[in-house]
Structure 1
Amino acid sequence: MTAPPLTVMLVAAEASGDDRGAGLMRALRAKLGDGVRFVGVGGQRMRAEGLESPFDIAELSIFGLLEGLMAYGKVVRRADETADLAAREKPDVAVLIDSWGFTLRVAQRLRRQDPRLALVKYVAPQVWASRPGRARTAARAFDLLLTIHAFDAPAFEREGLKTVFVGDSTLAIDFSAADPAGLRAQIGAAPEDPILLVLPGSRPSEIERVMPAFEDAVSLLKADRPNLQVVAPAAPTVAELVKARVAGWAHRAHVVEGDAAKRSAMKAATVALACSGTVTTELALAGCPMVVAYRLAPVTYAILKRLIRTKYVTLFNIAAQDFVAPEMIQDDCNGPALAREIALRLDDPALRARQVERQNAALLKMGRGGPDANEAAASAVLDLVARQRLSTAT
């Protein structure tokens, strides 16, 4: 008699989590073939791997205290729906990816619903930066933590949570198929034209907060550099928002969608202006110098400024313990300041080369060239399932 397939529930509520979830699905399918099926919540990438998500995750891409309070009712409803899905599908294990606020609520519901269900948290909350009490909360909510940073483990292991460092799947992104020359031809750029990449984030709130400053910076730069080509790779969660904003610009910009176009644009770019997030690691891997920016609601920023224990927000800056890429945060995220930092890099090839060299050194500290994170995560999940089954059998 053939054993039923392993049912894996995956829950991701943001673009970066969707990408990790898709990678984990591929790795599990490579190990188990038809012996695994997937249920849960995800975005475009996880849907491409066969997941049927009951709702669009774009509405859960929330960052900020005020924004979180305003979306609280929606988050609770979606957490309830996710728990209802688990009740129907009866998964053997649930992997809850990033998005601390939402996935914790889901975990609490799943734990009450079925205390025997194996619960995995994939990507640790950044307790080294703020709110260290989350380590104890995680230990109570989950059976296993998969971390993308080697320095995450001690805080959680002290609370009794089994923790496995799997590495960051972003560091394994393959740019070998990127076609920078094709991207230049697509946008009509001459070989000598500089290209500025504009990446305003993957959350609607990020577009709202940073795009006005990004627009001002681009206008100032274009006024002095008519041949500057502007390309905006749009994350799936905000593609329509980005296209609508760019359509209203006085100067032409090219919006590109999809991973292939994004990677080609990253390899073709002279400099990037990026909203803080996973995309900064991708840019560094592509060898693209950048200026990093972020803006929060004023109340959120005032509170977080008291809580944050690190002066860096960009992962490779944290790894280097230095401002390898400039970080223009809150009031510094304004058009003239951003334009000034970008202009320095557009006009100075040696500065760009030094920054890329330092970015590469920081990537090595982050684990570039290490084991495949998707493979490591899949193995850790299957090990947990095996232990749970052995425990139940005895």
Structure 2
Amino acid sequence: MVAGEASSDLLASLLLQGVRQHWPQTAIHAHGIGGTHMQAQGFKAQWPSERLAVHGYNWEVFKRVAGLLRIRRTLGNQLLHQRPDVFIGVDAPDFNLGLEQRLRQHGIKTVHFVCPSIWAWRPERVHAIRQAASHVLCLFPFEPALLAEHGIAATFVGHPLANVIPLQPNAAAARRQLQLREDAPVLAVLPGSRSSEVQYLLPRFLHAVQWLLKKIPELQIVLPAVPAREASIRQQLQASGLTGRVHLLQGQSHLALQACDVTLIASGTATLEAALFKRPMVISYAMHPASAWWMRRKQMQPWIGLPNILFRDFVVPELLQNAATPEALGQAVLDWLGEDGTAQQRRSTLQRQFIELHQSLQADTAHAAAQAIEKVLSHDAPL
């Protein structure tokens, strides 16, 4: 298995749990690239997930591409020698699809978990998926039919997090666990888990927090940090003078989302998690200008946040690159916290939409995924 970042590590751990439940009498040996959640399920991580957690299409990636290719080549050589029953690549398509294609060409069955967003950007990637994956496990119900049009076998397995996150999250319980006041608003700041996100996005978020604290002095701020980024985040908090005002959490992003009234959040899987927690959000992203230009060229839709893509509408605001000023980010957060009738109606409408989304993504993911993997492992399953 290969999972390339914090969100993929969580998804992969849930998949591993389901596989072990499906084959309780079978010894499951899983190894490759993964994080702490996978390791808690008995996964042997030869490299940690954060080694793959890069983003962008210029300097950020190019300066590390040789190391990534070396890891992929080394792992591929090992797997061709060991001949596993199945290889499962979890997201990270730029890394996994090439590895899957190589393994599949040598007769190893491959499963790709999380369909690349060919319906949102880079539609040409469908050709790589067809060559790489024996089967695709899809998180969204419309994806298998789309892949079938291109001759790719796929199964909708639901989104595992839709079964983990409660339909009605208990904010009060989460606040008690985090020792937060229940009579003051809470903002969750989620800048992402990649080093480039901490570099380009977190400073904007912290300046927005400074702006908000002038408007709402009693505002409580929680900031989850993955272990690999904690030191750099602490440095930025100290430099901004916010060390005493921001509750820095070790992981615990779900608890932060459960406790908050609104989240200031990086575009990515976390935006769907925030939607499943029924939380208003302000989505943002910032990267090297050359990378941003390249991604705009490949983008097929006007939205980048998963909730907006799934609803095909700007149900939550997106502020990207130069538009992500501290004042704009802060005002967008402030708009969600308003006590007037318009703001209350806006929050109520969003909550209904997110409940409907949550219900549409619920399925017995562990069972559906294990059944699909069993089909791939069967002798009559085509490579």
Question: How high is the TM-score relative to the length of structure 2?
Answer: 0.91
Cα gap change, 1:181/1:128 in structure 2, threshold over 3 Å: closer, same or farther? closer
Q: Does 1:51 pair with 2:43?
A: yes
Cα gap change, 1:352/1:263 in structure 2, threshold over 3 Å: closer, same or farther? farther
1: CA distance, partners of 2:130 / 2:104: 13
Return the match for 2:154 from 155, 163, 185: 163
Q: Deviations over 1:182-207 (max 9, x none)?
A: 65456654332111110001211111
1: CA distance, partners of 2:82 / 2:132: 21
Aligned pairs for 1:352-391 (under 5 A) are 354-362=346-354, 364-365=356-357, 367-368=359-360, 370-388=362-380
Return the match for 1:105 from 94, 98, 104: 98
Shift of 1:143: 1.1
Q: Does 1:135 pair with 2:126?
A: yes
Cα gap change, 1:294/1:39 in structure 2, threshold over 3 Å: closer, same or farther? same
Q: Deviations over 1:276-331 (max 9, x none)?
A: 11112222222221111111221121122122111111222122221111011111
Q: Does 1:62 pair with 2:54?
A: yes
2: CA distance, partners of 1:186 / 1:156: 43
1: CA distance, partners of 2:265 / 2:139: 21
Shift of 1:240: 3.6
Q: Deviations over 1:76-120 (max 9, x none)?
A: 0110122133145321011111011110222133235xx221111
Aligned pairs for 1:279-294 (under 5 A) are 279-294=270-285
Cα gap change, 1:60/1:26 in structure 2, threshold over 3 Å: closer, same or farther? same
Aligned pairs for 1:1-394 (under 5 A) are 10-35=1-26, 36-66=28-58, 67-112=60-105, 115-175=106-166, 180-181=171-172, 183-185=174-176, 189-251=180-242, 252-259=245-252, 262-348=253-339, 350=341, 351=343, 354-362=346-354, 364-365=356-357, 367-368=359-360, 370-388=362-380
Shift of 1:152: 2.2
2: CA distance, partners of 1:64 / 1:26: 32
SS at match of 1:222: helix
1: CA distance, partners of 2:325 / 2:211: 11
2:203 and 2:236 in contact (8 A); partners too:
no
Partner amino acid, structure 1, of 2:217: P
Provide the aligned C-alpha RMSD in A: 2.4
SS at match of 2:230: helix
Cα gap change, 1:53/1:88 in structure 2, threshold over 3 Å: closer, same or farther? farther
2:278 and 2:354 in contact (8 A); partners too:
no
1: CA distance, partners of 2:363 / 2:354: 17
SS at match of 1:54: strand
Q: Which has the higher contact order (CA 8 A, sep 6+)?
A: 2
2: CA distance, partners of 1:167 / 1:202: 24
1: CA distance, partners of 2:177 / 2:382: 58
Shift of 1:39: 2.1
2: CA distance, partners of 1:182 / 1:300: 41
Structure 2, unaligned stretches of length 5 or more?
none
Partner amino acid, structure 2, of 1:28: V
Q: Deviations over 1:242-281 (max 9, x none)?
A: 333224331321011244xx33332221211111111122
Question: How high is the TM-score relative to the length of structure 1?
Answer: 0.88
Shift of 1:127: 1.2
2: CA distance, partners of 1:188 / 1:30: 35
SS at match of 2:353: helix
Structure 1, unaligned stretches of length 5 or more?
1-9
SS at match of 1:65: coil
Shift of 1:221: 0.8
Partner amino acid, structure 1, of 2:67: K
SS at match of 1:347: coil
2: CA distance, partners of 1:378 / 1:47: 19
Shift of 1:29: 0.4
